[in-house]
Structure 1
Amino acid sequence: MNDGAPTNPLIALLELAQRARAAASGNELAFLAVNDSRALAPYRQAALWFRGSGVHTLSGVVAVESNAPYAQWLDQLCRTLAAQHDADTPLDIDPATLPPAIKAEWDDWLPARAVWLPLRAVQAAARPSGDSAPGAASGGLLLAGDSAPAPKELALLAEWMDIWQHAWRAAHPPPRWSLARAPTLLRAWWQGGARDRRWRRRTGVALALLAVLLFPVRLTVLAPGELVPAKPATIRAPLDGVIAEFSVRPNQVVAAGQPLFAFDQAPIGSRLDVAREALATAQAEYRQNAQLMLNDPRVRTQLAATLGKVAEKQAQADFLAGQAQRSRVLAPQAGIVLFDDPSEWIGRPVQTGERILQVAAADDVEIEAWVPIGDAIPLAANAPLQLYLAASPLTPLSGTLRYMSHRATARPDGSYAYRVRATLDAAAGQRIGLKGTAKLGGERVPLAYWMLRRPLAAIRQFIAL
Structure 2
Amino acid sequence: MLAVAWAALRRPTALSRWRRIRQRLHEAWPAAATRRRWRRRLLQKRTWRRFGGRCRRLWRAIPWRGAGRLLISPRRWPEAWRQGAAVLRRWVLGIWRQPRRRYTALLMVFLLFPVRLTVLAPGELVPARPAVIRAPLEGSVDKFFVAPNSRVQAGDALFQLDLTTLQSRLEVARQGLATAEAEYRQAAQQAVFEAKSKAQLALLQGRVAERRTEAEYLESQLTRAQVSSPLAGVVLMDDPAEWVGKPVAAGERILTVADEHDVEVEAWIGLGDGIVLPEDAAVTLYLNAAPLSPVAARLRYYAHEAVARPDGSFAYRLRARLEPGEAAPRVGMKGTAKIKGSWVTLSYWVLRRPLAILRQAVGL
Q: Which one of 326, 335, 358 corresponds to residue 436 of structure 1?
A: 335
Q: TM-score, normalised by structure 1?
A: 0.58
Deviations 1:38-88 (A, max 9, x none): xxxxxxxxxxxxxxxxxxxxxxxxxxxxxxxxxxxxxxxxxxxxxxxxxxx
Distance 1:292 1:442 in 2: 87
What residue identity is the alignment partner of 1:446? Answer: T
Aligned residue number for residue 75 of structure 2: none
TM normalised by structure 2 equals: 0.74
Equivalent residues of 1:245, 1:263 under 8 A apart: yes
| Post-superposition offset of 1:265 | 1.7
Structure 2 counterpart of 1:414? 312
CA gap of 1:298–1:226, structure 2 versus 1, over 3 A, is same
Q: Does 1:269 align with 2:185?
A: no
Task: Report deviation, 1:461.
Answer: 2.4
**Letter of the structure 2 residue corresponding to residue 215 of structure 1:** F
> CA shift at 1:382, angstroms?
0.9
Kept in 2: contact 1:365–1:428 (CA 8 A): no
For structure 1, the 5+ residue unaligned runs are 1-171, 193-199
Q: Which residue in the other structure is 1:301 paired with?
A: 199
2:354 maps to which residue?
455
Quick check: 1:286 aligned with 2:193? no
Indicate the residue corresponding to 1:175 in structure 2: 82
CA shift at 1:175, angstroms? 3.5
Would the aligned equivalents of 1:224 and 1:371 in 2 still touch at CA under 8 Å?
yes
Counterpart of 1:210 in structure 2 is 108
Residue 330 of structure 2: SS of its match in structure 1? Answer: coil
User: Equivalent residues in 2 for 1:81-92 (5 A)?
Assistant: none
Other-structure match for 1:464: 363
Q: CA deviation at 1:178?
A: 4.9
SS state at 2:82 partner: coil
Give the corresponding residue for 1:445: 344
Deviations 1:252-300 (A, max 9, x none): 1100111100111211211111111111111111111111111111112
8 Å CA contact retained: 1:226, 1:368:
yes
Distance 1:205 1:177 in 2: 25
3-state SS of 1:211 partner: helix
Please give the secondary structure, in 1, of the residue aligned with 2:267: strand
The Cα of 1:443 is off from its aligned counterpart by 1.0
Residues in 1 aligned to 2:227 and 2:85: alpha-carbon distance in whole angstroms: 78
- Deviations for 1:389-412, whole angstroms, at most 9, x for unmatched residues? 111111211111111111111000
SS for the counterpart of 2:254 is strand
User: What is residue 302 of structure 2 aligned with on the other side?
Assistant: 404
- Report the structure number with the largest CA radius of gyration: 1
Q: Which amino acid aligns with 2:259?
A: A
Any gaps of 5 or more consecutive residues in structure 2?
1-78
TM-superposed deviation, 1:464:
3.0
Match in the other structure for 1:381: 279
How far does residue 189 in structure 1 lie from its aligned partner after superposition?
A: 6.0
Q: 2 CA distance for matches of 1:407 and 1:292?
A: 72
1:296-342 C-alpha deviation (Å, 9 max, x unpaired): 11112211111111111111111110111111111110001111110
What CA deviation, in whole Å up to 9, does each residue of 1:115-168 have, x standing for no partner? xxxxxxxxxxxxxxxxxxxxxxxxxxxxxxxxxxxxxxxxxxxxxxxxxxxxxx
CA contact 1:384–1:401 (8 Å) conserved in 2: yes
- Say whether 1:315 aligns with 2:213: yes
Secondary structure at 1:406 match in 2: coil
Q: Which residue number corresponds to residue 138 of structure 1?
A: none
Q: Which of 323, 331, 342 is residue 425 of structure 1 equivalent to?
A: 323
Paired amino acid for 2:339: L
SS at match of 2:349: helix
8 Å Cα contact 1:229/1:432 also seen in 2: yes
Task: Report the Cα distance in structure 1 between the residues aligned to 2:340 and 2:124, rounded to whole angstroms.
Answer: 17
Paired letter, 1:440: I
Tell me what 2:53 maps to: none
Task: Please tell me the residue identity of whatever aligns with 1:406.
Answer: H
Partner of 1:363: 261
* Aligned-residue offset at 1:460: 2.0
The alpha-carbon distance between structure 1 residues 405 and 189, as it changes in their structure 2 partners (threshold 3 A), is closer
Q: Which residue of 1 aligns with 2:14?
A: none
Deviations 1:329-379 (A, max 9, x none): 111100011111101100101010001111111111011111111110001
2:329 is paired with a residue whose SS is: coil
CA contact (8 A) 2:263 2:328 kept: no
Take 1:178 and 1:330, find their aligned partners in 2: how far apart are those partners? Answer: 79
Question: Which residues of 2 match residues 49-128 of structure 1 at below 5 A?
Answer: none
Does 2:117 align with 1:219? yes
Number of the residue aligned with 2:46: none
**C-alpha RMSD of matched pairs (Å):** 2.2
Identify the structure with bigger relative contact order (alpha carbons < 8 Å, sequence gap 6+): 2
Q: Report the 3-state secondary structure (helix = DSSP H, G, I; strand = E; otherwise coil) of the residue aligned with 1:306.
A: helix
* Partner residue in 2 for 1:158: none
Match of 1:242 in 2: 140
SS in 2 for 1:202: helix
Residue 290 of structure 2: which of 370, 376, 392 is its match?
392
Q: Which amino acid aligns with 2:335?
A: G
CA distance in 1, matches of 2:132, 2:138: 17
The answer to whether structure 1 residue 328 and structure 2 residue 216 are counterparts is no
Instruction: Write the distance in 1 (CA, Å) between the matches of 2:298 and 2:328.
Output: 17
For the residue of structure 2 that corresponds to 1:175, the secondary structure is helix
Q: Is the 8 A contact 2:95 2:101 kept in 1?
A: no
> Separation in 1 of the partners of 2:208 and 2:130?
43
Number of corresponding residues: 285
Once residues 181 and 295 of structure 2 are traced to their aligned partners in structure 1, the CA distance between those partners, rounded to angstroms, is 67
